[in-house]
């Protein structure tokens, strides 16, 4: 089990009503399950459209249960952005 920080951006930040919070999970899938339990409702819907960075590396299309989290790491939750 690793602990670290989840950072929310844009619509995810608004739905979570905070910019960041801790995680305690082995994989990205476990961390996102933890987030869904803490924030049922709008954030759960926003997560369906998000992309993720784990320790500054894009997750892309990898299965979330295959993305291991590290101690002291970061997960960035990035909703689609508009504009330029």
Identify the helix (H) or strand (E) that includes residue 11: helix 10-16
pTM of the model: 0.93
Strand-pairing partners, residue 77, are 8, 52
For 32-80, the pLDDT digits (tens) are 999 999 999 999 999 999 999 999 999 999 999 999 999 999 999 999 8
- Residue 17 has phi, psi (to 5 degrees) of 65, 30
Sheet holding 2-8, edge to edge: 20-25, 2-8, 74-78, 51-54, 57-58
For 69-84, the pLDDT digits (tens) are 999 999 999 998 755 5
Q: Which two tokens stand for residue 74?
A: 């970061």
**How open is the CA angle 36-42-44, to the nearest 5 degrees?**
30
């Amino acid at each position: 089990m690793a602990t670290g920080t989840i950072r929310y951006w844009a619509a995810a930040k608004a739905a979570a009503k905070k910019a960041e919070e801790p995680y305690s999970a082995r994989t990205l899938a476990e961390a996102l399950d933890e987030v869904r339990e803490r924030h049922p409702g709008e954030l759960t819907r926003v997560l369906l459209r998000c992309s993720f960075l784990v320790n500054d590396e894009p997750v892309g299309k990898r299965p979330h249960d295959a993305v291991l989290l590290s101690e002291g790491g970061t997960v960035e939750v990035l909703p689609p952005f508009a504009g330029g």
